[in-house]
Chain A
Amino acid sequence: MSTITHKHVEVVVAPDGTCTIDAINFNDASCTQVTHQLAAALGGQVIADRLKPEAANRPRLANRTKEAAR
């Protein structure tokens, strides 16, 4: 699991060429555009395509500090 907090894309290319493209830490719908652009560059067949709500925005650090100060 990635611990980087800025926007990035992690692609795992399996030994048979199958790719999983995961846009991480995006805070808007551009993540879908980014993954679709990369998938299109591969020119192949999409097997699975989904949003991951469980990976939605992390709480902002500033909010966490405010919460702690309450």
Chain B
Amino acid sequence: MSHYVECKPGFKDCEAVIEALVAVAFDRSQVELHQDAVVLIGYRGDERPQRAHIVIRREHVGPAANDVGWERLPDGTYRAWISEYDQRHRFSEATQNRIKQEYAVAALTRQARATGRTVDRRQREDGAIVLRIAGYR
């Protein structure tokens, strides 16, 4: 018997979100994690209405950038706050997709290892990442 699931990841595991950001572009020291959501700051130093629990400050994003953040919602998932400007620059669609891909890899690897499995990662030529999870009895 074999079972197959196809799914799109949602951001739920904050450590996996941070691992994904580090894998894609940022140093761990540039990623802030807050217990309570903090205000995001705009490129002119102005406070934005958005708040977030995971924050990358604008000086680490790029010139004229705004703070970028992920806010934890009541259902436990994280929503991204990325300005239109930053979506055209450092956080392009390609970069956001890479973050989703690395998030999925990190979340699955963490879940598998937490239950005693081994995980082997392989990069395919088409850009996909293949994880082989073993150790089932």
Of all chain A residues, the one with the shortest Cβ separation from B75 is A43
Most A CB atoms within 10 A — which of B5, B101, B108, B126? Answer: B5
Give complex CA distance A19, B98 in Å. 13
Q: Give bound CA distance, A18 to B112, whole Å.
A: 18
Within 4-43 of A, Cβ neighbours of B (below 8 Å) are at: 4, 6-32, 34-39, 41-43
Q: In terms of DSSP, what is the predominant structure of the interface of chain A?
A: mixed
Contacts of A36 in B (CB 8 A): 5
Q: How far is the CB of B70 from chain A (nearest CB, A)?
A: 12
Residues of B within 8 A of A (CB): 1-13, 76-77, 97-98, 100-101, 103-105, 107-108, 110-112, 115, 124, 126-134, 136-137
Top 5 A-B pairs ranked by shortest CB distance? A43-B12, A17-B100, A55-B2, A41-B111, A44-B10
